[in-house]
Amino acid sequence: MHRTLRTTVLTAVLLLVAGLLGILPTAPAVAGDAGYYGAPPTGSCFDLTLRQTRAPSTSEAPVDCTRHHTLLVTAVALLPEELDWGSPRSEILAAVRTICPPAQGSVIGRNQLQLYRSQYLWYFFAPTRAQQAMGARWFDCLTGVAEDTKLTSLPLNLTPLSSRMPDDIARCVTAALHSTTCADTHAWRSSWAFYARGRATAAAVKRAADRTCPAHVTSRRFLYSHWDVPGWRYIVGCYSKTSR
C-alpha cells in the first residue's frame, strides 16, 4: 500500500571545501557598485523565521555566525542587465535559479538524490524598496534547514549531504503529510530516492514508485513523492512508515 506526498523544493530551495572549513564573509564582488548597495556579504548569516523567508526582502541585519542563526548566505549576484525588479517574476526566478542552486551545492554537495532526502532548502531576497531606490540590483542566495513550521538552528559549518544524514537534516514526513526533519515528530522517513525517465505525470510517478519503492522501504505501506529536475527525468522519493 502507498500514499503520495506532494513536495516542492522552495524557491520562494546555493564551495564544498569552503563549506567544510567554514565560510568567511566577503565583500560584494564589485566594491562601490551601486547595484550591490545594501547587499549582505557572502558567508554571512541571518536569524530569521520561516515566515520571514516568504517575504520578498528583509531589513534584518546579518548576525554573528558563531551564534544562533537559521540561514547562510551562499552567494550574492546581480540581476541580468535586461531585467529589473519590475520584470515578470518568472524571469527573475529563472535568473536566480542559475545562481542559487549551484551556490548551495558548492557548500553542501551536489548530489540531487541526497538533496531530495534532506531538508536543505534555498531561499533568496531582493533588496528592500529603499535599497532599490538607491540602484540596488542584487539578490542573495541563502540556505537553511526547514521543519514543517520553522527553520532549524544551523551549525557554524553545514553538514554535507551524504547517504547517512543525521536526523536534524534528514527528511521525514508528518502524519499530516508535511515535510520536516527526522529530529521532529514524524510518521514517515525518507528511505530511498531514484531517477525515473520521462515526464512526471501522476500515473508515471505511481508506476515508478510501485516498481522501485517496495525494495527500499522498511514497512509494508509506503509513501512516495517526486521532484522535477532538468532533462527528461524526475526524482522519486520513497518513505517508510515509522512509529514516531
**Do the Cβ atoms of 200 and 228 come closer than 8 Å?**
yes
Q: Are residues 73 and 168 in the same domain?
A: no
Q: Are residues 82 and 182 in the same domain?
A: no
Global pTM reads 0.85
Could you write out the DSSP letters of every residue in 89-109?
Answer: HHHHHHHHHTTHHHHHHHHH-
Residues 26 and 141 reside in one and the same domain: yes
Query: How is residue 8 written as a grid cell?
Result: 516542492
Indicate the pairing of strand 138-145 with strand 71-78.
antiparallel
33 with 99, same domain? yes
Q: How far apart are CA 119 and CA 126, in angstroms?
A: 23
Query: Which residue bears the cell 565583500?
Result: 27
Provide the β-strand partners of residue 167: none
> Is there a single domain that holds both residue 109 and residue 205?
no
Residues 228 and 110 in one domain: no
> How many other C-beta atoms can be found within 10 angstroms of the C-beta atom of residue 9?
17
Q: Which domain holds residue 59?
A: 16-145
pLDDT in tens, the chain (244 residues): 455 554 333 333 322 223 322 333 444 444 458 999 999 999 999 999 999 999 999 999 999 999 999 999 999 999 999 999 999 999 999 999 999 999 999 999 999 999 999 999 999 999 999 999 999 999 999 999 999 999 999 999 999 999 999 999 999 999 999 999 999 999 999 999 999 999 999 999 999 999 999 999 999 999 999 999 989 999 999 999 998 6
- The verdict on 112 and 141 lying in the same domain is yes
Q: Are residues 204 and 126 in the same domain?
A: no
6: in domain: no
Where among 95, 113, 145 does a domain terminate? 145
Residues 72 and 130 in one domain: yes
Order of strands, sheet of 120-125, starting from the edge strand that comes earlier in the sequence: 45-46, 71-78, 138-145, 120-125
Taking the C-alpha atoms of residue 83 and residue 12, their distance in angstroms, rounded to an integer, is: 19
- Give the containing element (helix H, strand E) for 71: strand 71-78
d(CA 214, CA 228) in angstroms, rounded, equals 22
The answer to whether residue 8 sits within a structural domain is no
120-125/138-145 β-pairing: antiparallel
Closest residue by Cα to residue 50 from 178, 203, 241: 178
Judge whether 115 and 161 are in contact, CB under 8 Å.
yes
Is 29 inside any structural domain? yes
Q: Give the whole-angstrom CA distance, residue 137 versus residue 222.
A: 46
- Overall domain count for the chain: 2
Q: Write the Ramachandran bin of 198: left for phi over 0, alpha for psi from -120 to 50, otherwise beta.
A: left
Instruction: Give the span between the Cα atoms of 107 and 97, in whole angstroms.
Output: 16
Q: Are 128 and 171 in the same domain?
A: no
Beta strands 2-4 and 222-229: pairing type? parallel
Is 108 a domain residue?
yes
Clarify whether residues 65 and 105 are in a common domain. yes
| Shared-domain flag, residues 117 and 170 | no
Q: Is residue 204 part of a domain?
A: yes
Residue 7 in any domain: the answer is no
